[in-house]
Chain A
Amino acid sequence: SQQGEEDPQALSIQEGENATMNCSYKTSINNLQWYRQNSGRGLVHLILIRSNEREKHSGRLRVTLDTSKKSSSLLITASRAADTASYFCATALNSGGYQKVTFGIGTKLQVIP
């Protein structure tokens, strides 16, 4: 079952614009991660934010987490054509001796040159 739901499911923007993707989830979490996937290849980890953190930055990426609303957002500033990919949020919950990492359905981002 999918834990996170990304919104929107598809997004098309011009190069140089900012892209914002949202993720909502249902249960408590230990951390939330964002991944990028190019054309059905392996996923690439972008950023991890712990449940006690509210905001995190990495280069052109900014992630926020609101545990009271069970939601997170990923902002990509000054987008480039190379940012075209699918973006997934993944929630991690420690349970029964392991950490269950559950992915959402993803947002497909197209950056038009």
Chain B
Amino acid sequence: DAGVTQSPTHLIKTRGQHVTLRCSPISGHKSVSWYQQVLGQGPQFIFQYYEKEERGRGNFPDRFSARQFPNYSSELNVNALLLGDSALYLCASSSTRVLSGGYGYTFGSGTRLTVV
């Protein structure tokens, strides 16, 4: 059974450009959350989607947007890239909207975005 897959694995973009990151959750998982991890820091929450609806949003500017498709895969879009957007972007999936019952998130390996 495939885990959480993210694409691409690495990406280099120029300031001002737009980027789309993709995530496929574990089969049967309906919840996808996106996190940004800057080097040396812990992951910061960006969005949670459950059943194709946005359920939560972190403290990120409107340049960040996301959506979830009928097959529960998800895209994270970032417009007008800044140097400070350089980070590891992580996708996490879970079967339920709320973590409980001893199960945490399953993370993908991430997309390393470098903005130059």
Contacts and interface: CB of A to CB of B under 8 A. Distances in A.
B56 interface: yes
Interface stretch (B14-22, B73-81, B105-113): B105-113
Given A41-B109, A41-B110, A43-B105, A50 B4 contact: no
A42 B108 contact: yes
Interface residues of B, number: 32
B90 interface: yes
Contact of A35 (B33, B50, B104, B109): B104
Interface string B2-34: 001000000000000000000000000000010
B86 to A, nearest CB: 13
Interface in B27-62: 33, 35, 37, 39, 41-45, 48, 50, 55-56, 59
A70 to B, nearest CB: 17
Interface of A: 1-2, 4, 30-31, 33, 35, 40-48, 50, 88, 90, 92, 94, 96-106
